[in-house]
Amino acid sequence: MAFINDHYLELKDSYLFSTIAKKINEFTSTHPDKKLIRMGIGDVTLPLVPAVLAAMHEAVEEMGQKETFKGYGPEQGYDFLHEAIQKYYASRGVNLSTDEIFISDGAKSDIGNITDIFSNANVVMIPDPVYPVYVDTNIMSGRQIEFLDSHAKNNFLPMPPSQDASPDIIYLCSPNNPTGSVYNKEQLKAWVDYANHTDAVILFDAAYECFIQDPSLPRSIFEIEGAKTCAIEFCSLSKTAGFTGTRCGYTIVPKNLLGINLETDETSLNKLWLRRQTTKFNGVPYIIQKGAAAVFSPEGQAQIQKNITYYMENAQLIASTMKEKGIEFVGGDNSPYIWLKCPNGMKSWDFFDYLLNEIAVVGTPGAGFGHNGEGYFRLTAFGSKEATLEAMERFKTLSL
Ligand SMILES: *Cc1c(COP(=O)(O)O)cnc(C)c1O
Report the DSSP pairing between strands 337-341 and 376-380. Answer: antiparallel
**What is the number of alpha carbons within 13 Å of residue 70 lying toward its C-beta?**
18
What is the residue type of 213? Q
Measured in angstroms, how far is the CA atom of residue 208 from the centroid of ligand 1?
A: 8
Report the DSSP pairing between strands 231-236 and 249-252. Answer: antiparallel
User: pTM for the complete prediction?
Assistant: 0.97
Atom 14 (ligand 1): residue with closest C-alpha?
Answer: 207
Q: What whole-number distance in Å separates Cα of residue 378 and Cα of residue 364?
A: 5
* Phi, psi dihedral angles at 340 (to 5 degrees): -115, 155
Best residue for ligand 1 mutational test, from 16, 105, 108, 364 (most atoms within 8 Å of Cβ): 108
Domains of the chain: 9-47+300-396 (3.90.1150.10), 50-297 (3.40.640.10)
Measured in angstroms, how far is the CA atom of residue 28 from the centroid of ligand 1?
A: 29
* Phi, psi dihedral angles at 76 (to 5 degrees): -90, 5
Number of residues that make up the chain: 400
pLDDT at residue 220 in the model = 98
CA distances from 30 to 24, 26, 33, 34, 284 (A): 10, 6, 9, 9, 45
Residues 317 and 389: beta-carbon distance below 8 Å: yes
Other beta carbons less than 10 A from residue 233's beta carbon: 26
Residues 76 and 174: beta-carbon distance below 8 Å: no
pLDDT at residue 33 in the model = 93
End-to-end Cα distance, the chain:
60
Residues 295 and 288: beta-carbon distance below 8 Å: no
* Among the listed residues 264, 379, 244, 285, the one whose alpha carbon sits nearest the alpha carbon of residue 81: 285
The atom of ligand 1 lying closest to the CA of 243 is 7
Q: Which residues of the chain have pLDDT under 50?
A: none
pLDDT at residue 15 in the model = 78
Q: Which helix (H) or strand (E) holds 111?
A: helix 107-113
Q: What whole-number distance in Å separates Cα of residue 48 and Cα of residue 45?
A: 10
- Helix and strand numbers, DSSP H then E, in the chain: 12, 15
DSSP string, 143-208: -EEEEEE--GGGTT------TT---SEEEEESS-TTT-----HHHHHHHHHHHHHHT-EEEEE-TT
**What is the number of alpha carbons within 13 Å of residue 337 lying toward its C-beta?**
28
Q: What whole-number distance in Å separates Cα of residue 373 and Cα of residue 105?
A: 29
Measured in angstroms, how far is the CA atom of residue 238 from the centroid of ligand 1?
A: 7
Atom 11 (ligand 1): residue with closest C-alpha?
Answer: 207
Taking CB atoms and a 6 Å cutoff, what residues make up the pocket around ligand 1? 42, 106-108, 131, 173, 177, 205, 207, 236, 238-239, 244, 249
Measured in angstroms, how far is the CA atom of residue 236 from the centroid of ligand 1?
A: 7
If DSSP codes are grouped into helix, strand and coil, which group holds residue 353? Answer: helix
**What tens digit of pLDDT does each residue of 14-59 get?**
778 889 999 999 999 999 999 999 999 789 999 999 999 999 999 9
